[in-house]
């Protein structure tokens, strides 16, 4: 395939070299003549392991060339990969000027082509950039709508400096967001045969994936450093602690706890976060990440309460389905749903609550004393069945993931609203009046 790669910085240079190794012909495009001259001379414009040798060979074979002439590069290629920088402005927002300019250049050439062209954005961009900037800019420059002679994709890269060549050939995943299936197949064909899952998603999902990855990596580094600082203050070997931590692939290094939903609670997480944060302060160790986790949890509870109030829209009757801190238990210790219930009661809402496990605990469980002595005003609102809950509630709130709640969305009347805090069903199959807290 003939490919033009816009931007010969870190991502563009590595991508160009590796695509040539995979048998493609690549034309690199950059407005910096020094980078273009380096490629023409078979030299790498960046320092990266193994890259100079690949570029030297590719340039010598004529499979890799470079130019400052964007129009000619588009005319001579079937697909354009855009790898230009999206640097931060002083206020933290992205500077998309380079991306806009390249889209204008590509669009102007598409206007003159009598064949289809694929535009793939590999630069890191925030959700909505493809819809709000890339596509409108291409349409304006091309003078015709998306799909009329051109298609677009978003293809985030997962390359680490120092091991980028290895990462290209051993990706953790390959992700393509596309305007249509034909575009997705064309972009995905560039990586055919590489290991790891090949994932096609909507444009906005592909844009958000890279930010999710990088913020998670930053959080891991900061978390490990805070744990290490506490360990140092105590004379504990931090690497020995983390080595044990990493051996748990069931809960720690896994998919566990990483599905968006409602706030955490229970007898362990809040208590242990407070204890370790206090202990760190006692040792004069500042741990802003650990400290902010509880603040983030409180903010999420507030978010849920605001959503319920908005759904009520002046109505007063609310039904709560599940208020133990998670399904399959009667444990109410630090359940975030108690905060939700208390706040709604304080605002004058008329509540009814159903939770089979808590109802049993009221009769005979270990939490009976807690229910009867600590929150009698809440326990008095418990009803015996989901039918009673539905008869009462103008808004139904799903508070935990008990399986018996899965059919509640389908039982809503046309007037009832639902706020789902746990994703009890696939939102794509949800009825009118349904809303989720994180989806």
CA distance 331 to 323: 9
**How far does CA 308 lie from the centroid of its chain?**
24
Active site annotation includes 268 = yes
Measure CA of the first residue to CA of the last residue in the chain; give whole Å.
39
Sheet holding 64-67, edge to edge: 64-67, 25-29, 2-6, 79-82, 117-121, 150-154, 174-178, 198-201
Q: What sign results for the dihedral spanned by CA atoms 205, 210, 215, 216?
A: positive
Q: Which helix (H) or strand (E) holds 306?
A: helix 288-312
Cβ neighbourhood burial of 94 (10 Å; 0-12, 13-18, 19+): middle
Q: Report the interhelical angle of 269-282 vs 203-234 (nearest 10°).
A: 50
Closest CA to 435 of 398, 404, 385: 398
Query: Under DSSP, is residue 396 helix (H, G, I), strand (E, B) or coil?
Result: strand
Cβ–Cβ contacts within 10 Å for residue 294, how many? 16
DSSP-derived pairing of the beta strands 395-398 and 417-420: parallel
CA distance 33 to 30: 7
Q: What is the DSSP letter of 50?
A: T
Catalytically annotated residue among 83, 103, 215, 268: 268
Strand partners, 201: 177
Tokens found for residue 381: 């609102």
Tokens found for residue 97: 């000027």
The answer to whether the CB of 47 falls within 8 A of the CB of 22 is no
Catalytic residues: 268
């Amino acid at each position: 395939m003939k490919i033009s790669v816009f931007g010969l910085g870190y991502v563009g240079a590595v991508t160009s070299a590796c695509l040539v190794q995979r048998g493609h012909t690549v034309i690199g495009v950059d407005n910096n003549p020094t980078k273009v001259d380096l490629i023409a001379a078979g030299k790498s414009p960046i320092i990266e392991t193994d890259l100079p040798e690949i570029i030297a060979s590719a340039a010598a074979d004529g499979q890799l060339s470079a130019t400052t002439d964007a129009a000619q590069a588009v005319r001579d290629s079937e697909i354009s990969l855009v790898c230009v920088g999206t640097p931060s402005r002083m206020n933290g927002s992205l500077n998309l000027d380079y991306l806009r300019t390249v889209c204008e250049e590509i669009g102007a050439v598409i206007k003159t082509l009598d064949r289809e062209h694929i535009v793939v954005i590999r630069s890191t961009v925030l959700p909505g950039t493809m819809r709000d900037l890339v596509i409108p800019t291409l349409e304006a420059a091309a003078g015709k709508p998306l799909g009329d002679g051109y298609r677009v994709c978003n293809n985030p890269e997962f390359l680490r400096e120092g091991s980028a060549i290895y990462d290209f050939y051993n990706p953790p995943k390959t992700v393509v967001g596309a305007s249509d299936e034909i575009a997705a197949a064309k972009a995905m064909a560039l990586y055919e045969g590489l290991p790891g899952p090949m994932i096609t998603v909507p444009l906005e999902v592909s844009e958000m994936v890279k930010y999710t990855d990088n913020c998670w990596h930053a959080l891991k580094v900061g978390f490990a450093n805070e744990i290490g600082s506490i360990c140092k203050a105590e004379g504990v070997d931090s690497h020995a602690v983390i080595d044990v931590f990493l051996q748990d692939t069931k809960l720690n290094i896994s998919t566990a706890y990483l599905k968006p939903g409602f706030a955490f609670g229970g007898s362990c997480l809040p208590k242990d976060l407070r204890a370790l944060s206090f202990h760190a302060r006692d040792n004069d160790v500042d741990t802003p990440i650990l400290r902010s986790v509880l603040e983030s949890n409180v903010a999420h509870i507030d978010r849920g309460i605001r959503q319920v109030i908005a759904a009520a829209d002046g109505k007063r009757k609310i039904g709560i389905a599940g208020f133990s801190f998670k399904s399959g238990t009667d444990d109410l210790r630090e359940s975030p749903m108690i905060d939700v219930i208390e706040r709604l009661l304080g605002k004058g809402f008329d509540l009814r609550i159903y939770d089979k496990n808590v109802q049993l605990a009221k009769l005979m469980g270990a939490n009976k004393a807690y229910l009867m002595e600590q929150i009698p005003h809440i326990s008095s609102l418990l009803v015996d069945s989901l039918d009673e809950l539905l008869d009462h509630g103008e808004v139904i709130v799903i508070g935990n993931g008990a399986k018996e709640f899965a059919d509640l969305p389908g039982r809503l009347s046309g007037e009832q609203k639902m706020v789902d805090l746990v994703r009890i069903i696939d939102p794509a199959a949800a009825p009118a009046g349904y809303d989720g807290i994180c989806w």
